Amino acid sequence: MAHSTDNLNADELDRLLQQNRHWAKVTAQAQPDFFTKLESQQSPRFLWIGCSDSRVPANQILGLLPGEIFVHRNVANVVVHSDLNCLSVVQYAVEVLKVEHIIVCGHYGCGGVNAALLGQKFGLIDNWLRHVQDVYKRNQTCVFELSDHKSRLNKLCELNALEQAINVAETTILQDAWSRGQQISVHALVYDLHDGILKRLGRGIAGATDIETHRLLLA
Ligand code: CO
């Protein structure tokens, strides 16, 4: 394939591919069976549902290797009961991979949550962010009582993660898993871009009866 030095995009992609080769080499040198083991089996114990934000990569911030966490990301870590994409990930993770923990992770300073809070217009994505605006509308009083924008935004980031965790717990997938006696918990977390620290929001949902307790954390 011809290599064009005046094509900046191609050069950038070449750089990525070079980095990939370097990574594959270093990884195989450190652990010669790394790729053969991974190729033969995937058995993660965690499912991560997080924001698409490039600053919040699940594996890196948890210190996990490839193969250790199943990941679904979308703008503002939203879980909607009619989203076939997200539901398929959850179903496969719960019923086939049999993960033991589902983490719904929001992050402070989330651009999607900020747009929802301010009612900013970005195009098609505004429709998706309506789901976050719904969270805001349901919890307007406790967000609005905070004095500055940053505190309001961060509060809404937390509330959104809590509410999306409830949405996971209310799916037929989790309800059925719990009625079968499957051990699986749903956790809401929030990530701080400022210091890289993850914080738990509440104690998590380990069964259908925990949902109402979890809901009390809202408002
Ligand atoms: Co975000």
* Active-site entry in 45, 55, 81, 130: 55
Scan for tokens 């983490």, then name that residue: 103
Q: For the segment 150-208, what is each residue's pLDDT rounded down to a tens digit?
A: 999 999 999 999 999 999 999 999 999 999 999 999 999 999 999 999 999 998 999 99
Q: Which amino acid is at 135?
A: V
Q: Give the 3-state secondary structure of residue 218.
A: coil
Do 93 and 164 lie in one domain? The reply is yes
Do 17 and 96 lie in one domain? The reply is no
Do 17 and 94 lie in one domain? The reply is no
User: How many residues belong to the chain?
Assistant: 219
- Cα dihedral 11, 17, 22, 27 in deg (nearest 10): 160
pTM comes to: 0.92
Pick from 212, 120, 207: nearest CA to 162? 212
Do 61 and 117 lie in one domain? The reply is yes
- Domain of 124 in residue numbering reads as 44-218
Which CATH number does the domain housing residue 179 bear? 3.40.1050.10
Q: How close is the Cα of 149 to the center of ligand 1, in Å?
A: 16
Q: What are phi and psi of 95, to 5 degrees?
A: -90, -30
Q: What letter does residue 97 receive in the DSSP assignment? A: I
Do 97 and 27 lie in one domain? The reply is no
Question: Is it the case that residue 133 has pLDDT exceeding 50?
Answer: yes
* Active-site entry in 72, 107, 131, 187: 107
What is the band of 6 on the pLDDT scale with cuts at 50, 70, 90? low
Q: For the segment 59-112, what is each residue's pLDDT rounded down to a tens digit?
A: 999 999 999 999 999 999 999 999 999 999 999 999 999 999 999 999 999 999
pLDDT for residue 7: 60
Q: How close is the Cα of 126 to the center of ligand 1, in Å?
A: 14
Total structural domains within the chain: 2
Q: How close is the Cα of 39 to the center of ligand 1, in Å?
A: 31
